[in-house]
Amino acid sequence: MTMKKKIGLYAVLAALVILAAACGSSENALETAAASETTSASNAAVYEHENTSHEEVSLIDCIHSDSRSFRIYDDMSSEYETEGRLMAGVVTHHLLAGRMISGFFKTAAAARSDDIETVVIVAPMHYPERDMLCTTLSDWNTDLGRVSTDRELSERFIAELGAVSDDDMLEKDHSAAVLMPFVRYYFPEAKTACLLVSGRSEPIISADIAQLLKEMAAEKNCLFVFSIDFSHYLDPDMTAEMDSITLDAVMSRDTELISRMTDDNLDTPRGMCAFIELCSLMGWDITELDHSDSLKESGLPYNSASFGEGLTSYFIFGGTEKQ
């Protein structure tokens, strides 16, 4: 396929998925519309096949993505250059930047496809209610197949961090769910453990999460993925300015500054601080692997109605272990 055709395909994809800056109703509506393209017959076939080899556990449906779009993300992506093994990272949860998500998982799989037992995902809670932390003990039903939950690790989120198991929250919030097809495709034998973190949680939770993830890393071969979007609701110039401030804070590991940031910079300071603190505890380097925004990824003009609420920006960071 020529690059011109790929760009054309991606422009079509961009119109179907999220083009608004916010993680709000317009984004969810577009992503849900894209997901509806997959036939019910396909879903039924996946469920029937996967259910024959798994114990009877509940399933969470991945309603925010579909296999046809996923193939485009994979086709558009390429491996990132890293110095050392990719042990952790920060990825977006906007499918408009799906090629960036795919690039991260493709890079991790190239070096660690045989040794990853569990992909641990820490993501923001977009619809916080009473609970500050949510997880699930259920498996995930994606168009690419079933992803099993590592119930041992998920139960530690409950026992040691006070998280609650809430399947409804995990299903309706796209922050972790959109990553499940990538887990299934690039690490088909791996399990997953998800933790959604409310922005209303206390700042100390970042250190608590990082410490628990360090313990998990000592027990299993894990890939730690932090689902984070960056600047929201601003015009291109202000987005670039906020991204520069955020990048400086991340690379200098200034968790005190990051903990005070708002949507002008990123949507989950708790998750970003947990990533930085985990890298510090483990002695991993932090590297910027990619940077973009919804304007660049869509290929649309800024005067498009899709940007009525401003832009969303995206970074891919890697936490790498020296070899």
Question: In this structure, are residues 131 and 165 in contact, taking their beta carbons and an 8 Å threshold?
Answer: no
Listed in sequence order, the residues at least 6 apart from 261 whose beta carbon sits closer than 8 Å to its beta carbon are 246, 249, 269
Task: Give the start-to-end residue ranges of the domains of the chain.
Answer: 3-321
Which residue reads 């090629």 in tokens?
Answer: 99
Taking the C-alpha atoms of residue 129 and residue 198, their distance in angstroms, rounded to an integer, is 9
Question: In this structure, are residues 88 and 222 in contact, taking their beta carbons and an 8 Å threshold?
Answer: no
Question: In this structure, are residues 139 and 44 in contact, taking their beta carbons and an 8 Å threshold?
Answer: no
CATH number for the segment(s) 3-321: 3.40.830.10
Q: For the chain, 323 residues long, give each residue's pLDDT as a single digit of tens.
A: 443 334 344 443 444 333 333 344 334 333 333 343 333 334 433 434 444 445 577 999 999 877 778 889 999 999 999 989 999 999 999 999 999 999 999 999 998 888 999 999 999 999 877 889 999 999 999 999 999 999 999 999 999 999 999 999 999 999 999 999 999 999 999 999 999 999 999 999 999 999 999 999 999 999 999 999 999 999 999 999 999 999 999 999 999 999 999 999 999 999 999 999 999 999 999 999 999 999 999 999 999 999 999 999 999 999 999 87
Which residue reads 């519309």 in tokens?
Answer: 33
Handedness of CA 312, 280, 226, 9 (dihedral sign): positive
- pTM of the predicted protein model: 0.84
DSSP class of residue 115 equals: T
Q: Is 164 left (phi over 0), alpha (psi -120 to 50) or beta?
A: beta
> Using N-to-C axis directions, what is the helix angle for 3-16 and 25-35, rounded to 10°?
120
